[in-house]
A and B are shown apart, each in its own frame.
Chain A
Amino acid sequence: MTDAHAWHVLFGNIDAHSWAFVRAWDNPTVSEVIAAVAAAIVVIAAAALGALTTALGKWRYLWMEWFTSLDPKKIAIMYVLIAFVMLFRAVIEGVLMRAQQAVAVNSPGFVSPEHFAQLFSTHGTIMVFFMAMPFIAGLFNYIVPLQIGARDVAFPLLNSISLWLTAGAAALLMASLVVGKFSTGGWTGYPPYTELGFSPGVGPDYWIWAVTLGSIGSNLTGLNVFVTIYKMRAPGMHLMRMPLFCWTALCTAILMIFAMPPLTVATALLALDRYLGYHFFTNDLGGNMMNYANLFWLFGHPEVYILILPAFGVYSEVVSTFSSKALYGYTSLAVATGAIAVLSFTVWVHHFFTMGQSADINGAFGIATMAIAVPTGVKIYDWIWTMFCGEVRFSVPMLYSLAFMVTFVLGGFSGIILAMPPLDFQVHNTVFIVAHFHNMLIPGVLYGLLAGYHFWFPKAFGFRLNERWGRIAWACWVAGFFLTFMPLYVLGLSGMVRRAQEVFEPAFRPWLFVSFGGASLLLCALVALLVQLWVSIRERADNQVFVGDPWDGRGLEWSLSAPPPEYAYAVVPVVHGRDTFFEAKRNLNARPPPERYADIALPRNSAAGVLIGISAAAAAFGLVWHIWWLAILGFTAIWAAVIGRSFARAVYRIVPAAAVERTEARWRHAIGDALPVSRACETTSANRGLARAPS
């Protein structure tokens, strides 16, 4: 065996030029240097984190308290952390793209076409799969069990596996910055461009495996949330008594269960084409590339509802809490959520109206697309009527909700335009589409996630976030969004093509400048959030809300301490109606002490999730680079972990009744010491988490 052959067996297709640093050294253009800097940040950050953890001696703590924990509250926090890190990367990529387009009017700009294509591919892939989906999984994991009166999700180990598959996939994406290049085929990866003939490098393979791992994780999360809500609600918590957030979680879970498999099929078939020379989507020998678009959007359309429904759930919770009023039209909201979920499987063709099918088919799907706007409209009216005659407080979550209502509806109008095939044909492949979906995703999904973050952060960490920096961030997000994306509507109608690294129409330049200004504001918004977190942690002693109900909340999650004990509920609550905790507070029976405490069984920690995630990421890396021994080893390790774990017997540990009683006593003592505050004082340090009922 020659040296070169031995190298190839060990390291697959990795060679010197796979490394971003080597490419920048050989060809130091601005574009390559940017890539090398990004790679350097990944390497340095990873090394620094490792070194810091070692220096502080925290590996054991991290392993025992976090990585192997099956506590959904901890898993949730890790999910949200992943989401924020990936949000940071993806926003920077967005700013780079806006900057390039602002500068590259009849000039090459500073980012090469290939680099630009990688940017829009990673930006989309990260935002959908590694920012929004993990954030949503995090919110579900923390809040759904608490809101239905359960201690955990149905399958705690599966939960951990989902988390670590997502983390492994995110790591794969970060690795693609350092070694190799990412796909240039967009977040949708359409063949035949992504077939070997046109994309012979590792890019599409990185995309395929990262998306596959992430989507399996999401599918399993959907399964977990669905069974949790279906089978683990507290006694008396009928489906029509659940908080709206749980209704949206239930419907989102159904979408995850049914909509992720089409993506798995699309990417798997593409992988078969690339790895084994199959002809599913090739130009020749019977391939049908149009089926890819069909399969991808069978996933892709429900996916956008997977993203928006949880945000709708957050808005329901936030609007009713900060209007001090029960949700208007609970039944219509629940029915609308279910309708959106089912209808989301009937509209997917609107993503490829121009692909060539008949006008009749386009028309049918166009009508369905317009129909699906109706339940969303119902929800908007319900939220408005909730606020009407309520005592509205303009808290940060409420500000996000209000900005959502105005801005999302505007974006919805652009959606109605696009629902008409003849109009869609006119703006197909222009930045009008880019404006439309960002108009849905930013005010719709992102504001919802941030509202949820602000709303439930005190519950998870025991102290409120800094108000001033929250408002600064909000203002930057809202202003930034308008400035970045409204010009794109104009440009799209003027004919500017999307995904363009260079622009050839000087009239576009002023709009592109404004858009870049907006993008800079969005980056400021992100920084403001980081500053807010920093300041909040520094001031946490002043803003402790240990009693657990800083906003005079309505759902069961507010009836626990902040943060809740690891077992959440000392005694499983019995529910008598909607907003059961709120009603109990008004009846002066908010936190009735239980008659007796019992031992509580909690899942023991397990390394299986971590092992599976790491093995899957390793196998994926091996597949990307054709390091076959690594791929086989990783795959085997996954199943060895699964089988090994199935031999475990003592998978629960007991929290003794005495310990539960002690924890509860400490909390009840704090309740006794705390002064109840009115809503006027809820953002002051007087708020210890005990709400005063209005007289």
Chain B
Amino acid sequence: MNPGRASELRRYLAGYGLSHVLTGAAFGAVYWQKLGARDTLGIVFALGFIQVLVHFRCFLYIGLRRSARDALQLLLLSTLIIGLMVSGTLVILVNLHRRMM
């Protein structure tokens, strides 16, 4: 097999495998809930965040090399702006909720 093809195949398999592990761990943490609600939620979000990174790296080829640079910069800018929007929204609405309910 073409070496390029083999490395891409490995990449997809790695991503697929890692996603199974991360998904299984998250579902398992909730199914067999051993910790408190807050900690379990934290673990679920952390595992989800890692899995998102795995998808970006293994399926979408995001990395530091030149050909992926533009996409990475765009992702970072988007993360900044989305972060501002979502955190701002939650802070404002939680604050309003607390003051009005």
Interface residues of chain A, those whose CB is within 8 Å of chain B, are 230, 254, 258, 262, 288, 290-291, 294-295, 298, 342, 345-346, 348-349, 355-358, 361
**B85, A361: Cβ atoms under 8 Å?**
no
The main secondary structure of chain B at its interface with chain A is helix
Q: Does B96 contact A (CB under 8 A)?
A: yes
Q: Can you list 27 A-B pairs with a CB-CB distance of less than 8 A?
A: A254-B77, A258-B78, A262-B85, A288-B93, A290-B93, A290-B96, A291-B93, A294-B89, A294-B93, A295-B89, A345-B81, A345-B84, A345-B85, A346-B84, A346-B88, A348-B88, A349-B88, A356-B96, A356-B99, A356-B100, A357-B92, A357-B99, A358-B95, A358-B99, A361-B91, A361-B92, A361-B95
Which 5 A/B pairs are nearest by Cβ-Cβ distance?
Answer: A357-B95, A258-B81, A345-B84, A357-B96, A290-B96
Q: Does B39 contact A (CB under 8 A)?
A: no
Chain A residues, Cβ within 8 Å of B85 = 262, 298, 345
- A-facing residues in B44-101 (Cβ within 8 Å): 70, 77-78, 80-81, 84-85, 88-89, 91-93, 95-96, 99-100
Chain B residues, Cβ within 8 Å of A357 = 92, 95-96, 99
Chain A residues, Cβ within 8 Å of B95 = 357-358, 361
**A291, B89: Cβ atoms under 8 Å?**
yes
CB distance from A365 to the nearest CB of B (A): 9
CB distance from B75 to the nearest CB of A (A): 13
CB distance from B55 to the nearest CB of A (A): 21
CB distance from B96 to the nearest CB of A (A): 5
The 8 Å CB contact of B89, one of A298, A342, A346, is: A298
Q: Which residue of B lies closest to A346 (CB)?
A: B84
Chain B residues, Cβ within 8 Å of A346 = 84, 88
Chain A residues, Cβ within 8 Å of B93 = 288, 290-291, 294
A-B contact count (CB 8 A): 39
Chain A residues, Cβ within 8 Å of B92 = 294, 349, 357, 361
How many angstroms from the CA of A342 to the CA of B76 in the assembled complex? 13
Chain B residues, Cβ within 8 Å of A349 = 88, 92
CB distance from B74 to the nearest CB of A (A): 9
Which of B80, B88, B89, B93 has the largest count of A CB atoms less than 10 A from its CB? B88
Chain A residues, Cβ within 8 Å of B81 = 258, 345
Which of B70, B88, B92, B96 has the largest count of A CB atoms less than 10 A from its CB? B92
Chain A residues, Cβ within 8 Å of B78 = 258
Chain B residues, Cβ within 8 Å of A230 = 70
Which of B78, B80, B81 has the largest count of A CB atoms less than 10 A from its CB? B81
How many angstroms from the CA of A345 to the CA of B81 in the assembled complex? 7
Q: Which residue of A lies closest to B98 (CB)?
A: A358
Q: Which residue of A lies closest to B73 (CB)?
A: A230
Chain A residues, Cβ within 8 Å of B99 = 356-358
CB distance from B91 to the nearest CB of A (A): 7
Q: Which residue of B lies closest to A262 (CB)?
A: B85
How many angstroms from the CA of A262 to the CA of B81 in the assembled complex? 12
Q: Which residue of A lies closest to B94 (CB)?
A: A357
How many angstroms from the CA of A262 to the CA of B91 in the assembled complex? 17
CB distance from B97 to the nearest CB of A (A): 8
CB distance from A290 to the nearest CB of B (A): 5
Chain A residues, Cβ within 8 Å of B100 = 356
CB distance from B63 to the nearest CB of A (A): 19
Q: Which residue of B lies closest to A258 (CB)?
A: B81
How many angstroms from the CA of A357 to the CA of B92 in the assembled complex? 7
CB distance from B51 to the nearest CB of A (A): 24
Q: Which residue of B lies closest to A291 (CB)?
A: B93
Chain A residues, Cβ within 8 Å of B70 = 230
Chain B residues, Cβ within 8 Å of A298 = 85, 88-89
CB distance from B101 to the nearest CB of A (A): 11
Chain B residues, Cβ within 8 Å of A348 = 88
Chain A residues, Cβ within 8 Å of B88 = 298, 346, 348-349
